[in-house]
Amino acid sequence: MELCLFLGCNTPAIRPDVERAIRATMPELGVDLAEVEGYVCCPAFGSFPSTDDDSHLASSGWNLSIAEAKGLDIMVQCGSCYSSLRMGLDHLAHDDLKLARVNELLELTGRKLECKTAVRHVSEILYNEVGVEKISRTIKKSLEGLHGVIQYPCHTLFPSEIVGFEESPRQPKALRVLTEALGATVESYSRELQCCGGAGGFSSSSPAEATAFTKTKLDAIIEETKADFIVVSCITCLMYLDNIQKKLNEAENTDKYNIPVFDYNQLLALCMGFDPKQVASICTIPRNLVIDRL
């Protein structure tokens, strides 16, 4: 199958190793990737979706129309981009007035939107389209003996009728099953479904409280599990959980927050034998302990 890869901004700009991992792994699993030439900001919830409907939905429509013109569905890794595009699409697909207005705006640019393109999350593609069996068959190395925990991207869970794909959004399992397919032991912990705390204005408007909030999550992981790594499938979760551990160590003068964080496609790429320097090189908390065990 072929899908348009919607990169967003953080991944290509700050964590291009994740982009590399996605571009490396997906075609080998039978998912060919096309570009979304001229895409713009998804738009991030703090931008146009916080100013007015027109600018918000016109930007969504802009992005969607590029893929639609190619006749392809969109695949996203970033949780915010995924959710913003899905919600934008949902508004446009269910409200003829809004769609008409957006098409009025798009017309100026020579574009058109019929809401034919679907927006899908990379973890959903891996889970539903590729399947764990194919993944198990394809990998060359295994995470056997390593313990992982999952950070589910909220944006792929809620609200379930718009963004959800799990059979049971209150008990998601896609990332767990996918990680288990790589040979790792996945442990549950009490705050598994708690938000990473990194998105939106919370961490900038209340930095101390936001740090304390995420600390409860990390403490739960440390106390309740033998986690060697955290698996995410959202660029915000990845960056935030990685960076905050260093902050916590500095603030508390400790080194206990040292769990490496991986995007799922990074682990997948490592297991498929790609060069760690290319697919998993950018991080704050060192990943050697996991990478060396492979």
Partner 1 sequence: MAEKKPIGTVLVAGAGVSGIKAALELAEIGYKVLLTDASPQIGGILAKLDNQFPSDHCGMCRILPMVGREYASQYCMRKGLYHENIEILPFTELTRVEGDVGNYTIELLKKARYIDTDKCNGLGECIKVCPVEVPDEFNHGLTQRKAVYKPVPHSTPQMLLVDMDVCTNCGECVKVCPTNVINLGAEDEAFTRHVHSIILASGVKLYNLEEFEDAKSWAVSQDVISALAFERIISGTGTFDGQIKRPSDGKPAKKIAWVQCMGSRNRRQKRDYCSSICCMFALKEAMLARQKGGDDVEATIFYMDMRTFGKDFYRYYEKAVDAGVKFIRCRVQEVMHNPDKSLSMRYYDSQKEEFFVADYDMVVLSTGQIPHKTHAKLAKLFHLELNCQGLLPTQIYDKVKLVKPGVFLCGSLMGLTDLSEAISSGIAAAGQASTLLSSLDVTIIEEEQIAEPTTKDRQVPLISVVLCKCSEKVEKSSVDFGALEMGLKKFNFVGEVNIIDMVCSDQGKENLLKLLKKSQSNRLIIGACHPFMYRKSLKNLAKKAGFAASLIEIFDLSSIVHKGFFESVKKDQTHEAYSEIISIMENLKLKPALHVETLSMNRTALVVGGGIAGMHASFALAQRGVDVHLVEKSDKLGGYAGNNIHATIDDLEPVSMAKDLMIKVLEHKNIILHKNCEVAATQGSFGAFETRIRDLENQENQYLSHGAAIIATGGLEGKTAEYEYGNSANILTQAQLREGLSTGKIDVSDAQNIVMIQCVGSREKQGRKYCSRICCIGAIANALAIQEKNPDARIFILYRDVMTYGFAEQYYTKARGAGIVFVSYDLDKKPEVELVDGKPVIKFTESVLNSEIELSPDFLILSPGVDPEVSNREVGKAFDLPVNDDGFFIEADSKWRPIEFLRTGFYVAGVAHSPMTLKDAILQAEAAAQKVYAHLSSRKIHRAHVISKVHDAICVRCQRCVDICPYDARSYDKVLDSIMVDAAACQACGMCGVACQNNAARIMGFSDKQIMAVIDAKLSENPMFMVGK
Partner 2 sequence: MDFSESDKDLWKQIYNTKDLLYCLNCSTCLSGCPASHGDPPLLVRNLARMVVFGLEDDLLDDDTPWACVSCSRCEEMCPMDVKPFEMILAIRKWQSANDETRVPPSIVEIYKRGYTQSVGTNTKLRKSLGLPELQTITKMPQMLKLYQQMLMKTPVVSENDYMFNEE
From the list partner 2, partner 1, none, partner contacted by residue 168 (C-beta under 5 to 8 A by kind): partner 1
Least gap, CB of 193 to partner 1 (angstroms)? 7
Candidates 5-13, 69-77, 136-144, 222-230: pick the segment binding partner 2 (CB under 8 A): 5-13
Return d(Cα 279, Cα 20) in angstroms, integer: 6
| Site string (181-200) toward partner 1, x via CB under 8 A | ---------xx-x-------
Size of the chain in residues:
294
Near partner 2 in 114-173, by CB under 8 A? 154-155, 157-160, 163, 169
Contact window for partner 1 (CB under 8 A) among 14-22, 104-112, 167-175, 286-294: 167-175
Amino acid type, 147? H
Question: Of these, 37, 133, 223, 292, which contacts partner 1 (CB under 8 A)?
Answer: 223
Assigned token pair, 230: 């955290």
Rule CB under 8 A: is residue 12 a binding residue for partner 2? yes
Residue 208 engages partner 2 in binding (rule: CB under 8 A): yes
Residues 6 or more apart in contact with residue 27 via CB below 8 angstroms: 33
CA distance 161 to 181: 27
Instruction: Identify which of residues 62 and 264 has a Cβ nearer to partner 2 in the complex.
Output: 62
Query: Of partner 1, partner 2, none, which one does residue 89 interact with (CB within 5 to 8 Å by kind)?
Result: none
Measured distance CA(9)–CA(235) in Å, rounded: 10
Closest contact distance (angstroms) between CB of 206 and partner 2 is 4
Neighbours of 90 (CB within 10 A): 17
CA-to-CA dists, residue 290 to 15, 188, 195, 258, angstroms: 19, 19, 24, 12
Q: 187: buried, middle or exposed (CB in 10 Å: 19+, 13-18, 0-12)?
A: middle
Residue 191: Cβ-neighbour burial (10 angstroms; 0-12, 13-18, 19+): middle
Q: Residue 155 binds which entry of partner 1, partner 2, none, with Cβ cut-offs from 5 to 8 Å by kind?
A: partner 2
Taking CB under 8 A as the criterion, which residues in 246-285 touch partner 2?
275, 277-279, 281
**Rounded Cα distance, 135 and 42, in Å:** 29
- How near is the Cβ of 260 to partner 2 at its closest, in Å? 18
C-alpha span between 57 and 42 (Å, rounded) = 10
Spatial contact of 149 and 102, defined as CB atoms under 8 Å apart? no
Positions touching partner 1 (CB under 8 A) are 168-171, 190-191, 193, 220, 223-224
Positions touching partner 2 (CB under 8 A) are 7, 9-10, 12-14, 16-17, 19-20, 23, 35, 37-41, 43-55, 58-59, 62, 80, 83, 105-106, 108-110, 154-155, 157-160, 163, 169, 194-195, 197-202, 205-206, 208-210, 212-213, 275, 277-279, 281
